[in-house]
Structure 1
């Protein structure tokens, strides 16, 4: 049974996770100025996997996969990072970043639906309304910025919507697997799978284009190196550990809504470092997001149902 200190730490983890992700948009922009999207992902997960491999190799961190359902972790990695980032990369080729931001905001709603079906997580009417309020806050900001949805970008919009499904599926399955695996065990496997996948894809793409010599060219840029260190160390490794810890203590439907806080952080980072102007509608949208996050977690039921996956995973 969760005690109060662990719940507070879980909520703090969710907030810090959103802050780190919010700043990651800034570093992603800088990295993409110097490398292709898939190459950036390869370096991102190379850093994550390397940073975690060092303490494991030194024996400072102990992992135990004996008798555990590793095939389910492969499914987890297929949703995130593989599915999420691949769908996002190709979706943004045919749609705008504003459209991506709008569709990604619907992730908490998709998570709530999947969690109710697969984890039997019950949510109150006030929780549902609060989640919709948070989503509306993000959509309101993007719409007021002139970033509406163009129906002609149908394929791109569909791929971006699938990123919501992929991340929601990850949250739901991770919530279940964290009954069996430690957060560190899940992060190490998914990071390693992500690194190997994007490494192979990058090499194949460069080999086909005859540009293998350009694969390591971005490393000559200090800006790129620092951006990748942040993205791999903080935005991938640390956020994964924080998210998995939070999911091990709190329902997926409650945790997912915290992702919309990253929109507020990215707006703040843009104003601070990119001279992007924030207006009244940014403030209004941000207040709606915060109110939605607080409401989703304030008006929940006192006792959450047990995940239905747990018994199945234990038997595997």
Structure 2
């Protein structure tokens, strides 16, 4: 890979973290007008319909002929299907702080899965850097009073499984990047989310006799803006970016960038919501950034030959 291609991958990885970091603000606005399932439905309606336009006009070329579609379906089942389903229902039985703590473990889970399925190797300094980044996130949540409540065991298990789902996506996307383009991966992922969450949301309204309320949130301007951001930027664009980055750099390196979203969300909360930033926020953010830089810097000399030995989850 050329230095230009590698540099672009890192720029996209940082951009991905920035978009996700701001998504927390828009999620709060969306959930103020609609429940989680309706929000997910409209989110993926927006993402799938927007991507379908360039596909139908021929500006984005898709070719699935002769390619392992079963493996691609496994990818879509992992993300967005399993990840958002497990996260949504996990947060019903656990706190958002517990969710943040458990999702922070994603880079560690990804590192382990990438080692097992992709034969990706990380050196000692990379491992320490990833752990440092994870500790930075945990430090922030713990200092904010966050902790794991054993009575929330059901929600905790679901949130932990959501971490495995997004880690599995990182590994599976890295494996499939040799056979599919980022657009081909993203279109199936968005389509899967569109069908699933629309059916679940509409089914819920039919069962409760509230179908008339399904479109009510669309009268709220803030909800529409939030859903467009979540659907187009935080779902479609991030999936395209992530799939591209995972075709260029190792899954463990990509995954650790997710912790930068915590830094971005803190900054966004301070700037747009007037939330207080304490010294422990600064310390935690510094640990996260140092960890992300270290995980990628110390592994830069390693080759990507291990990808040749990658094993798809569906095999």
C-alpha distance in 2 between matches for 1:280 and 1:288: 12
Q: Is the 8 A contact 1:138 1:286 kept in 2?
A: yes
Q: Does 1:73 align with 2:76?
A: no
Q: Does 1:59 align with 2:58?
A: yes
Counterpart of 1:48 in structure 2 is: 47
Structure 2: gaps spanning 5 or more residues: none
By how many angstroms is 1:306 displaced?
2.2
C-alpha distance in 1 between matches for 2:179 and 2:216: 41
- Superposed CA RMSD: 1.3
TM-score by length of 2: 0.97
Counterpart of 1:194 in structure 2 is: 193
Number of residue equivalences:
313
Deviations 1:233-256 (A, max 9, x none): 100011111111110000001110
C-alpha distance in 1 between matches for 2:170 and 2:313: 17
Q: Secondary structure of the equivalent of 1:50?
A: helix
TM-score by length of 1: 0.97
Q: Does 1:12 align with 2:11?
A: yes
Counterpart of 1:162 in structure 2 is: 161
Deviations 1:165-220 (A, max 9, x none): 00000000000111000000000011001000001101111111110111111000
Instruction: Please give the residue correspondences for 1:76-115 in structure 2 after superposition, counting only pairs within 5 Å.
Output: 76-115=75-114
Deviations 1:262-297 (A, max 9, x none): 000000111111111010000000000000001101
Indicate how the Cα distance of structure 1 residues 312 and 165 shifts in structure 2: closer, same or farther if over 3 A, else same. closer
Q: Is the 8 A contact 1:179 1:310 kept in 2?
A: no
C-alpha distance in 2 between matches for 1:148 and 1:44: 30
Greater shift in the superposed pair: 271-280 or 304-313:
304-313
Structure 1: gaps spanning 5 or more residues: none
C-alpha distance in 1 between matches for 2:282 and 2:312: 45
Counterpart of 1:302 in structure 2 is: 302
Deviations 1:52-72 (A, max 9, x none): 100111111111111111111
Q: Is the 8 A contact 2:176 2:312 kept in 1?
A: no
